[in-house]
């Protein structure tokens, strides 16, 4: 475990604000348990909880906060200089940070999704959701980590992607679904455990190829951007 990994993890967990991430998964769990205990038909609450809350809100928002936080917080504070001046190849900075971001996001999201999936249908659906969410966490984290290097306002740009591209346009213009990580995650989960609960128009091959492409592409972009990174002050 490299020093960078250790520092990033401590930067995430060392502050009380990490606790702010807990309500999202807890609400997901609570709703699933509530619906199950009241005996509502899973066909009705499944899509609302698993997709509407889990994959459309919890996964992207947690990834956004963590993914832009692992490097963005240090850029904001200016302490990124201390890492950049060490004789480390840039990929040894990006990869540990990406691993921490994706790992923490995956654990935070996959565990409640697994439980909700088990409650909704079967252990198989739970495992499929957890696996797909972990892959999605990797893709989202790579995207948002690269965003925090490309622009000074990564969170707002990330919100544009999550809210307007995936949320708003995805409902009206079906063409944008081909470029939406959320749809890839749904497609992958549906392939791993075919149920009637998850619906998407994106094919599995497109989803898997695009997820891999996004994860690798944005990581390479992040490494490249960090190679010629200029430290600036607070945005005006």
Location of structure tokens 């990929």 = 91
CB of 236 to another protein, least distance (A): 4
Nearer to another protein, 155 or 212 (CB): 155
CB of 207 to another protein, least distance (A): 23
The yes or no reply on residue 20 touching another protein (CB under 8 A) is yes
By rule CB under 8 A, what count of residues binds another protein? 42
Nearer to another protein, 17 or 82 (CB): 17
Q: CA-CA distance, 43 to 64, in Å (whole number)?
A: 29
Query: b vs e for 135-166, b when ≥16 Cβ sit within 10 Å of the residue's Cβ?
Result: bbbbbbbbbbbbbbbeebebbebbeebbeebb
Q: Which of 36, 90, 124, 153 is the binder for another protein (CB under 8 A)? A: 153
Asked if residues 55 and 136 have their Cβ atoms less than 8 Å apart, the reply is: yes
The yes or no reply on residue 154 touching another protein (CB under 8 A) is yes
Stretch that binds another protein, among 30-38, 131-139, 175-183, 211-219 (CB under 8 A): 30-38
Nearer to another protein, 160 or 209 (CB): 160
Give the containing element (helix H, strand E) for 104: helix 91-120
Stretch that binds another protein, among 32-40, 101-109, 118-126, 133-141 (CB under 8 A): 32-40
Token couple for 200:
């998407």
Q: Which of 1, 19, 38, 232 is the binder for another protein (CB under 8 A)? A: 38
Q: CA-CA distance, 86 to 83, in Å (whole number)?
A: 5
Q: Show contacts with another protein in window 214-233 (CB under 8 A).
A: none
Q: What count of Cα atoms within 13 Å lies in the side-chain half-sphere of residue 70?
A: 32
Q: Which of 49, 118, 138, 188 is the binder for another protein (CB under 8 A)? A: 49
**65 in helix, strand or coil?**
helix
Q: How far is CA 196 from CA 120, 132, 186, 191, 199, in A?
A: 11, 17, 12, 11, 7
The yes or no reply on residue 27 touching another protein (CB under 8 A) is yes
Chain positions contacting another protein, by CB under 8 A: 17, 20, 23-24, 27, 31, 34-35, 38-40, 44-45, 48-49, 52-53, 57-58, 61, 64-65, 68-69, 72-73, 76, 152-156, 159-160, 162-164, 167-168, 234-236
């Amino acid at each position: 475990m490299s020093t960078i990994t250790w520092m990033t993890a401590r930067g995430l967990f060392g502050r009380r604000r990490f606790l702010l991430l807990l309500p999202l998964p807890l609400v997901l769990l609570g709703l699933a348990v509530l619906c199950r205990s009241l005996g509502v038909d899973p066909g009705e609450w499944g899509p609302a909880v698993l997709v509407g809350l889990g994959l459309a809100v919890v996964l992207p928002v947690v990834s956004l906060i963590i993914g832009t936080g692992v490097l963005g917080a240090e850029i904001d504070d200016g302490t990124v200089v201390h890492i950049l001046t060490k004789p480390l190849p840039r990929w040894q900075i990006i990869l540990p940070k990406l691993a921490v971001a994706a790992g923490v996001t995956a654990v935070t999201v996959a565990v409640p999704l697994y439980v909700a999936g088990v409650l909704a249908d079967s252990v198989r659906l739970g495992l499929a959701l957890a696996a797909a969410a972990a892959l999605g966490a990797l893709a989202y984290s790579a995207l948002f980590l690269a965003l925090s290097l490309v622009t000074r306002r990564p969170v707002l740009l990330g919100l544009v992607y999550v809210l307007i591209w995936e949320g708003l346009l995805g409902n009206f213009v079906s063409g944008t679904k081909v470029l939406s990580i959320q749809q890839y995650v749904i497609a992958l989960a549906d392939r791993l455990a075919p149920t009637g609960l998850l619906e998407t128009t994106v094919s599995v091959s497109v989803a898997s190829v695009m997820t891999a492409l996004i994860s690798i592409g944005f990581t390479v972009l992040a490494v490249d951007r960090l190679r010629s990174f200029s430290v600036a002050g607070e945005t005006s």
